[in-house]
Structure 1
């Protein structure tokens, strides 16, 4: 056991909300605590923004878009700012990692990668695309011609979840700003610290006032105000299916553009001819990294019957040897759940699985590496179950794996597609023809073959069915942060004559 005092979270001083290039307190003067899930201690008091603060932030972003230099800069000039932010992220990568680990509970060994190398790569990638917004010209019927411009949309409202705070904010902020938009960011109330740090880095990099605004706050009020605000042109949301549906409904009154990534219940298929050692490793990491609090988690493991018991036994052995621990310890692989409500949700689903008749073969209980009742830790949990159970159909967002047997390729595909979600999937087999055939049949936005959790800023990401619509990352996302404008030019018909 590692004493939490050995790996202290960073000291945090908060300056309030970032609105119009300045730090300010919440309009009503309120603050709230953001809590370390490893031990329940308060990390910092954060400004508790309200609808009034959202309105101020939107107005600042609106002024910056309508009157400021950012949308009128060349892509090369915007690129310079984004590259500077990437450099600053790398400079402060350790601080950013420690902020997210303290705030969310993900082990420091993972946040060091996410908040240094990967987040910086996202900003660099979109810095490269900032000057690549191409239109087109057309020879038309009649005299003259037409050209099509790709222009920024306007003010973007970005609402991000608690589970990968810095990286998921980067996937929205970087392309939105690269395209010339301005932005209001509402981070999760439970993990706001790295979002506030990023605002400081943008200010240091020379971003014009009002281009990026950050409003923290508790409850649904600030998010609802952002979605309903007539000064916002697009909402980019990552979060739960139910909240996403509410956002889509609320956006109808102002006809906002909306992109939503709404989580999943991803199937990871292991065929009997798979390279089993590697498949088991990917299956374990696919669900238990981040304590299962990842939208693409492989929370349904479909295993062909001849190797079903072998795979389950190996996963149980691995799970029981990998208990959660202090997230600030670089040796820890699994940290606590991000907050108390998530702990209670996961506990409730374990009870549901037992009521449904699923066989609990590992875990299923809280775990307290620092002593009784310290932190929101939960053991890696494995059920043998069926695809029609709640634990196999609903997103738990925790370290709970349901292992389901199958016989044929067609059955595996039917089970994999047999949920309302369609975010990610995996297939493990040594037969390359089978791999491609099954990947093609999966109704999911991503499929990994003989791997899992691979990621690159140049590869688009998003869901189908109840997992939402729109894309993050890749060059494709730039189309969701831009509008098209067709311009017609009338040229007089030539009537002969010469030069001069």
Structure 2
């Protein structure tokens, strides 16, 4: 692999399963390499777990919840462990960022920014762990009545390849803060940061069995986890199609589920917007993390009077942005995360051409010198897209932007809401009344005004429609990881 002198280059040890506080080989001894999209090299062999390993992990989590100390600890004690993990994450920030970069191609400059964000999230939920409280309720009878907030039990957390560190945190932090035990199944393509975080939790003093990590084939292990009768809740981030299958499986045992699913987010630019700012937000809205982000502003809706100007500036910037080695701190645009995703993006660019959309830039692979084995794809912009086209309706999950012209505010709202998804949206305008009027009309769980892709652990995040249900981050997240008990005492 080509190295960059400014970037850390730690040795990544072979990955094993983390079950009941111990590092173990898979039940059958199987391993598979994790392959870096940077140059196609093998980073490290990783344990290839089996359903038997899932069962062992779930049993450990069940035992830890039913008889271990974690679920019975006070909130301040759990907070102490979460705060210690946050400190350890900051201590090992360079190694964690390096793992994210070589595992999924995220530019190191962004990986380094995500690490302190993750530490902040653990600290935020450490604070909330001390605030889980019930309430006394007046009744019509002579009773003393109160409520308790209790953890749901064993949580199966299934996370995707695109933000391995951040998306694991959105599940582990609130689940553990509430007193649950967890079996984490990271993406087979990007397991490295999940294994590192398990190591840090062990160092921070988390009791054995409270957090377990199973690496291996997603479909097989995800099915085993979702079907396991000792799992009380599944928290999943991924595609809508896979989410539906998990819901069906989990329904057999009436598990609680949280679903953060796909998106085809509209980013609306009105003619009165601050255009230079809007173009920058549109660029990073779709091309941040190579478009491998569920909130990607993959549909850019531009009002006709400024359509040519906005598209011209955007195409110029996209054409000048060449993919490069993500270990270089100057790189903004790295390789796609894995081979299947690269082939999917390639196929959708073919579909866009076949549908009659105007390919304005990109649409092809790119081979940086010395990194010919990497999965690099140029930023791609299609113009004059019809909203009925597949590239405007289906989640591509890559650096492919569909630009759609519109005339009126009503047209923009109809186009924006005209897909099965409802995860996020953006509105760019200098008219404050219009901004909030449109934000209210958009069927999306998050709406950014004159900005895009801002996140904070204190602000809830989740989708409408086929983009899922339940919320991550904010105090709302704890609602998904707790259940309420009512206690009545007769005073008559």
1:180 corresponds in structure 2 to 179
Q: Where in structure 2 are the equivalents of 1:93-492 lying within 5 Å?
A: 93-115=93-115, 117-371=116-370, 373-384=372-383, 385-491=385-491
Larger Rg: 1
Deviation (angstroms), 1:138: 1.5
Structure 1's unaligned 5+ residue stretches are: 494-500
Deviation (angstroms), 1:371: 4.6
Given that 2:321 and 2:333 are in contact with CA atoms closer than 8 Å, whether structure 1 keeps it comes out as yes
Given that 1:135 and 1:148 are in contact with CA atoms closer than 8 Å, whether structure 2 keeps it comes out as yes
Distance 1:110 1:387 in 2: 32
Distance 1:118 1:266 in 2: 23
User: Taking structure 2 as the reference length, what is the TM-score of the superposition?
Assistant: 0.98
CA RMSD in angstroms comes to 1.1
Deviation (angstroms), 1:145: 2.0
Given that 1:381 and 1:401 are in contact with CA atoms closer than 8 Å, whether structure 2 keeps it comes out as yes
Give the secondary structure class of the aligned counterpart of 2:136: strand
Distance 2:305 2:464 in 1: 31
Deviation (angstroms), 1:263: 1.6
Distance 1:149 1:424 in 2: 34
Given that 2:38 and 2:371 are in contact with CA atoms closer than 8 Å, whether structure 1 keeps it comes out as no
Distance 1:412 1:337 in 2: 31
Given that 2:380 and 2:401 are in contact with CA atoms closer than 8 Å, whether structure 1 keeps it comes out as yes
Deviation (angstroms), 1:3: 4.5
Given that 1:9 and 1:328 are in contact with CA atoms closer than 8 Å, whether structure 2 keeps it comes out as no
Given that 2:159 and 2:187 are in contact with CA atoms closer than 8 Å, whether structure 1 keeps it comes out as yes
1:202-248 Cα distance to aligned partner (Å, 9 max, x none) = 00000000000000002411110000000000000000011000000
Deviation (angstroms), 1:140: 1.7
1:359-416 Cα distance to aligned partner (Å, 9 max, x none) = 0000000001135742110000000111111001000000000000001000000000
Distance 1:3 1:404 in 2: 39
2:41 corresponds in structure 1 to 41
Structure 2's unaligned 5+ residue stretches are: none
Give the secondary structure class of the aligned counterpart of 1:260: strand
User: Which is worse superposed, 366-375 or 230-239?
Assistant: 366-375
Distance 1:15 1:252 in 2: 32
CA gap 1:333/1:218 in 2 versus in 1, 3 angstroms: same
Given that 1:346 and 1:396 are in contact with CA atoms closer than 8 Å, whether structure 2 keeps it comes out as yes
Given that 1:153 and 1:481 are in contact with CA atoms closer than 8 Å, whether structure 2 keeps it comes out as yes
| 1:18 has 2:39 as partner | no
Distance 1:174 1:486 in 2: 26
Distance 1:284 1:354 in 2: 21
Given that 2:2 and 2:371 are in contact with CA atoms closer than 8 Å, whether structure 1 keeps it comes out as no
Distance 1:374 1:43 in 2: 14
Given that 2:15 and 2:45 are in contact with CA atoms closer than 8 Å, whether structure 1 keeps it comes out as no
Distance 1:93 1:309 in 2: 43
